Amino acid sequence: SLASTAITCFTRGLDLRKETEDVLCPANCPLWQFYVFGDGVYASLSSVCGAAIHRGVITNEGGAVRVQALPGQENYPAVNANGIQSQVLTRWASSFSVTRIKNTALEAVGRTVSTARPSTGKRPKKPLDKKAGNKDCKADIAFLIDGSYNIGQRRFNLQKNFVGKVAVMLGVGTEGPHVGVVQASEHPKIEFYLKNFTAAKEVLFAIKELGFRGGNSNTGKALKHTAQKFFSLENGARKGIPKIIVVFLDGWPSDDLEEAGIVAREFGVNVFIVSVAKPTTEELGMVQDIGFVDK
CA 292: distance to chain centroid? Answer: 20
The whole-angstrom separation of Cα 44 and Cα 59 is 20
pLDDT one-digit tens code per residue, 111-133: 334 444 444 444 444 444 556 77
pLDDT one-digit tens code per residue, 11-46: 999 889 899 999 999 999 888 878 899 999 999 989
The whole-angstrom separation of Cα 164 and Cα 153 is 17
- Comparing 127-131, 149-153, 197-201, the range with the smallest average pLDDT is 127-131
Domain ranges of the chain: 3-128, 135-286
Q: Could you tell me which residues come within 8 angstroms of residue 122 by beta carbon, excluding any fewer than 6 positions away?
A: 110, 111
User: Domain 135-286 belongs to what topology?
Assistant: Rossmann fold (3.40.50)
User: Domain 3-128 belongs to what topology?
Assistant: Ferric Hydroxamate Uptake Protein; Chain A, domain 1 (2.170.130)
Contact 134, 178 (CB under 8 A): no
In eight-state DSSP terms, residue 47 is B
The whole-angstrom separation of Cα 41 and Cα 67 is 11
Nearest residue to 127 via CA among 49, 14, 20: 49
- Measured in degrees and rounded to the nearest 5, phi and psi for residue 223 equal -65, -45
